[in-house]
Amino acid sequence: MYIPMNISTVTVDPISNSPIVILKEINGDKILPIWIGIMEATAIASELENIKFSRPMTHDLIKNIMETLDVKVTKVEVCDLKDNTYYALIHILTSDGKEYAIDARPSDALALSLRTNAPIFVKEEVILKSAKLTDDESEAMDESEKGKKWKKILESLKPEDFGKYKM
Amino acid sequence: MYIPMNISTVTVDPISNSPIVILKEINGDKILPIWIGIMEATAIASELENIKFSRPMTHDLIKNIMETLDVKVTKVEVCDLKDNTYYALIHILTSDGKEYAIDARPSDALALSLRTNAPIFVKEEVILKSAKLTDDESEAMDESEKGKKWKKILESLKPEDFGKYKM
């Protein structure tokens, strides 16, 4: 089952100091954090914050190529989580009605979804696996520490961030 | 007039500490340094060094989109230099024979050219403007300092780097 989500925010994991993009269920409370690279975080955050550059950034170039070829991004899916790696698919539709799903890192898929207003879907299994993964990684911590870790991340999100970027 | 060039190497400008990609004329000695971002430098250098990642990096994704759509990158051109900004065009050819030129930053165009074996052309005017720009920036330096600056950059290139990545 795929769950419609949107990008809530990009923040920094206070434990690993690595950027994370936080997806939030549109019609519910499910949350999925995805650890991404600093460059990909910039590509997502700059679009969330509506920052315009004088020259096309790499994901703007992808959007421009799609537009030139009259190809529409219909949706992006976060479809798997294996060996700590998240997988995504970018679904595209050509002007003559052909559909393709292109393998991508979630960060690229999400950066492109923001630029093309494509909806984001996450396989429920990925959310379950991710919760388990986070629990496993926190194994050494006691319950209150685990709680603190996520409290810290979620506290860094302003209430107005949630749902702010609904598409 | 457009001059066929290839990517000689990616190095770091010892003055600004910024990454530069160095293009070199295939049939001559003309050289064009282009200052680029750290991420774009990584995208070019990893391909030059033939480093493979388990997941598609952003320019691999562009290549995969092109291949999926049966679109060929025929050439990339560094076509202008205005206000210290270099401009490039990515020329593409669709399976039904349509040609388009897409505006891009040179770093993206070059990263894509490496992945698609597309030839690189540079407008002669850009090389002349670039030489002038470098001279202007070095105005405060005396001749021997100017010489030293470029000597330092060029010395950091191993002889085997030149022409190593000819396509």
pLDDT > 90? residue B101? yes
Give CA–CA dist A56/A43, Å, rounded: 11
Q: What's the N-to-C CA distance of chain B in angstroms?
A: 20
A12 domain residue, yes or no: yes
pLDDT > 70? residue B145? no
> How big is the A-B interface in CB pairs under 8 Å?
71
**Residues in chain B whose beta carbon is closer than 8 A to a beta carbon of chain A?**
39-40, 54-59, 61-62, 64-66, 68-69, 71, 85, 87, 90, 92, 94, 100, 102-105, 108
Looking at residue B138, its pLDDT comes to: 53
Residue in the structure block whose two tokens are 């759509």: B69
CB contact under 8 A, A61 and B108: yes
Burial class (CB in 10 A: 0-12, 13-18, 19+), B84: exposed
CB contact under 8 A, A68 and B104: no
CB contact under 8 A, B62 and A66: no
Q: Tell me the whole-structure pTM to 2 decimals.
A: 0.83
Contact in structure between A103 and A86 (CB atoms under 8 Å) = no
Residue A92 sits in which domain range? 2-159
Residue of B68, B84, B44 lying closest to A66 (CA atoms)? B68
Q: What's the N-to-C CA distance of chain A in angstroms?
A: 20
Looking at residue B80, its pLDDT comes to: 97
Q: How many residues does chain B have?
A: 167
Give CA–CA dist B30/B11, Å, rounded: 17
Give per-10-residue mean pLDDT for chain A (167 aa).
96 87 95 91 92 93 98 98 95 97 97 97 96 65 55 55 37
Among chain B residues, CA nearest to A62: B62
CB contact under 8 A, A108 and B58: yes
CB contact under 8 A, B71 and A69: yes
Residue B2: alpha-carbon gap to chain centroid: 14
CB contact under 8 A, A65 and B66: yes
Task: List pLDDT tens digits, range B53-73.
Answer: 999 999 999 999 999 999 999
Task: List pLDDT tens digits, range A44-91.
Answer: 999 999 998 999 999 999 999 999 999 999 999 999 999 989 999 999
B38 domain residue, yes or no: yes
Give CA–CA dist A157/A9, Å, rounded: 7
Q: Is ipTM beyond 0.85?
A: no
B70 domain residue, yes or no: yes
A40, A54, A71: residue with CB nearest B69: A71
Angle at A109 between CA A108 and CA A115, to 5 degrees: 90
Between these two residues, B23 and B84, which has the higher pLDDT value?
A: B23
CB contact under 8 A, B65 and A68: no
pLDDT band, residue B144 (cuts 50/70/90): low
* Number of folded domains that form chain A: 1
Contacts of B104 in chain A (CB under 8 A): 56, 61
CB contact under 8 A, A58 and B54: no
CA dihedral A96, A102, A108, A114 (to 10 degrees): 30
Looking at residue B13, its pLDDT comes to: 84
B165 domain residue, yes or no: no
Give CA–CA dist A9/A20, Å, rounded: 8
Looking at residue B166, its pLDDT comes to: 32
B166 domain residue, yes or no: no
CB contact under 8 A, B85 and A61: no
Give CA–CA dist A90/B73, Å, rounded: 21
Rounded to 10 deg, the angle between the B58-68 and B38-48 helix axes is: 70
Structure tokens at A45: 């955050």
Find the CATH number of the domain harbouring A139: 3.10.690.10
**How far is the alpha carbon of A147 from chain B, nearest alpha carbon, in Å?**
32
What is residue B97's DSSP assignment? Answer: S
Neighbours of B161 (CB within 10 A): 17
- Which segments within B27-130 are labelled E, that is strand? 31-35, 72-82, 85-93, 99-104, 120-123
Structure tokens at B122: 């540079």
A23 domain residue, yes or no: yes
A167 domain residue, yes or no: no
Among chain B residues, CA nearest to A91: B65
**How far is the alpha carbon of A14 from chain B, nearest alpha carbon, in Å?**
23
Between these two residues, B78 and B159, which has the higher pLDDT value?
A: B78
Structure tokens at A93: 């539709």
